[in-house]
Amino acid sequence: MARGVGDQGVAISLFSGAGGLDLGAEAAGYRVAAAVERDRDAALTMEKNFEHLESPVIQADILDVSTEAILAAAGLRRGQRPDLLIGGPPCTPFSKSGFWLEWKRSGLDPDASLLQAYTRVLAEAKPRRFVLENVYALTYNNKASKPAYDRLLREIDDAGYEFRAQVLNAADYGVPQSRPRLFVIGVRKGEIVPEHPKPTHGGTWERRSTGHAERPHVSTGDALAGLVTEPEPEEVTRGQYLDLLPGVPPGENYLHYTEERGHPTPLFKWRSRYWSFLLKLDPQKPSPTIQAQPGPNVGPFHWENRRLRVGEVKRLFTFPDGFELVGTRRSVQAQLGNAVPPLLAQKVIESFAARS
């Protein structure tokens, strides 16, 4: 029997963004009753698409919001506890894409404290279960990530929870995008914490095989098939090197224009740019990770030599076609690029159901 929204209980959402984790939670049978999101556009996106919220989204910095206020916004009376806490604290300090910045390698980004905002609410709200999502670079053994990761796990333990942490690639779960992310899932001490979901799809990621080999990854071509979208002004490519994009074969990047790839007039040195430079989608493979704030030459670009349209990005994240996002095109890109793919979120959260 299919679960209805709310069958599994009340969920509280922190760092909600556009609601990728929230869509997954509701698909898994929870009712998202309260959300905290400081970005105005993302908060309005949540309110536009989630009809089970007990109160308007708390549009404030979580460092300024008490746990008591969050529980009250969910309609929970004193002594009542949520069934699920979900959230993905901003990944700025640990994102792999920014480790060339010395201040990030040194762990000086103030956003690092937002991990503690999550564990503070976890300890005070005492939900039955929780899911915390973050960039997989948080698990790196370096001077920025390791102390923060060790502290996070220690604080979860101190809050009274058994937990498991694992990096999952969204493409291994039917999402048409290779997007590795860390998921920490947990239950109160004394209960059995479930395993992370088993992959349902498989293929190649970063030159190695991942997932369930008998069922191939969902390709961008399959995901975008039948989708009708209108041209967008923002899809026009602008940048110093984007006149080179038509020459890049699908699935390749600037390396096409190197001596090592046999180009007759090489324009770039081997591995002299970041991987996403002039990167183009391959319709036969999942999309590479789609970023929240891509630079002018940063892909993935569509194989038709343009930027992706909003409807296409939603498909590549598994957001519903009818999901409405609020804000400018730049804001929409950021909301989607920061989101957890709803399908992956659903499968992670459904792992609790096996223990119910």
CA dist 178 and 288 (Å) reads 5
Distance in angstroms (rounded) separating the CA atoms of residues 66 and 20: 24
Query: What mean pLDDT value characterizes the chain?
Result: 92
Based on the residue annotation, tell me whether 240 is a catalytic residue of this protein.
Answer: no
Q: What is the 3-state secondary structure (H, E, C) of 152-206?
A: HHHHHHHCCEEEEEEEEEHHHHCCCECCEEEEEEEEEECECCCCCCCCCCEEEEC
pLDDT tens digit sequence for 188-235: 999 999 999 999 999 988 778 888 888 999 999 999 999 999 999 999
Report the C-alpha gap between 170 and 172 in whole angstroms: 5
74, 85, 91, 313: the catalytic one is 91
Cβ distance 355 to 200 under 8 Å? no
Tell me: domain 9-216+338-355, CATH 3.40.50.11540, correct?
Answer: no
So what's the pLDDT on residue 100?
41
What does the alpha-carbon distance between residue 13 and residue 157 come to, in Å, rounded to a whole number? 20
Contact 144, 105 (CB under 8 A): yes
Contacts of 156 (CB under 8 A, 6+ apart): 119, 122, 132, 163, 184, 186
| Predicted model pTM | 0.92
Say if residues 326 and 48 touch (Cβ distance below 8 Å). Answer: yes
Each residue's pLDDT tens digit, 302-345: 999 999 999 999 999 999 999 999 999 999 999 999 999 999 99
The Cα–Cα gap between 325 and 20 comes to: 12
Listed residue (309, 302, 304, 271) closest to 287, CA to CA:
302
Query: Where are the chain's structural domains?
Result: 9-216+338-355, 230-308
**Is the per-residue pLDDT at 105 higher than 70?**
no
